[in-house]
Amino acid sequence: MLLRRDGYSLSDDPAHLDRALIHRWLRDDSYWAASIPEDVQQRAIEGSINFGVYEGEPGSRQVAYARVVTDRATFAWLCDVFVVQEHRGRGLGKWLMDSVMAHPELQGLRSFILATRDAHTLYERYGFERVEGSQRFMRIHPRPYRAAP
Ligand SMILES: CC(C)(COP(=O)(O)OP(=O)(O)OC[C@H]1O[C@@H](n2cnc3c(N)ncnc32)[C@H](O)[C@@H]1OP(=O)(O)O)[C@@H](O)C(=O)NCCC(=O)NCCS
């Protein structure tokens, strides 16, 4: 996947990722992975589909990121979504989400789950619904094979 828009590019090629930036941002600025050790973050990247947004071409300055943990058939977990402060409010978060939802290896899933503290309305645009009884968990649960008996 390689997309371009408004001087930015978006790629799912892990070779382009700025792993130091991703780790630093999640360790220092996220509320969900604060203090995460670097080796843990690197293993998480290795086991995931990764989405990077870059100023200019892939591999130049990275400004946004999202990660999906998945079996590429039935289940996915969306996490580690961020846009660096100076680039927020320009549609990059929605572009990341458009690209996650369109990714060829994330089609026909039985369950797509995420957790968020305060971005529910962002994810509702893409079909995620709040899980009953939970403040943070959201999911898409499409029953893709056939109706329940
Ligand atoms: C959430 C985040 C990724 C959005 O990125 P962005 O590029 O600024 O977002 P966009 O410009 O694409 O717009 C996002 C839309 O979602 C809405 N939204 C809903 N909840 C939001 C939230 N908590 N933060 C930001 N936008 C939110 C915005 O109002 C906007 O709607 P609009 O198009 O009607 O104005 C970014 O603010 C960020 O990195 N925040 C810190 C990390 C974080 O909270 N990540 C999500 C964890 S679940």
pLDDT tens, residue by residue, 15-38: 999 999 999 999 999 999 999 999
Task: Select from 83, 112, 135 the residue to mutate for testing ligand 1; criterion: most ligand atoms less than 8 Å from CB.
Answer: 83
* 8-state DSSP, 131: P
Q: Phi-psi region for residue 32, left (φ > 0), alpha (ψ -120 to 50) or beta? A: alpha
Our mutation pick for probing the ligand 1 site, out of 31, 79, 88, counting the most ligand atoms within 8 A of Cβ, is: 88
What pLDDT does residue 64 have? 98
% of the chain surpassing 90 pLDDT: 93
Q: Indicate the fold that domain 2-101 takes in CATH.
A: Aminopeptidase (3.40.630)
pTM above 0.95, yes or no: yes
Domain residue limits, the chain = 2-101
Cα–Cα dist 81/23, whole Å: 12
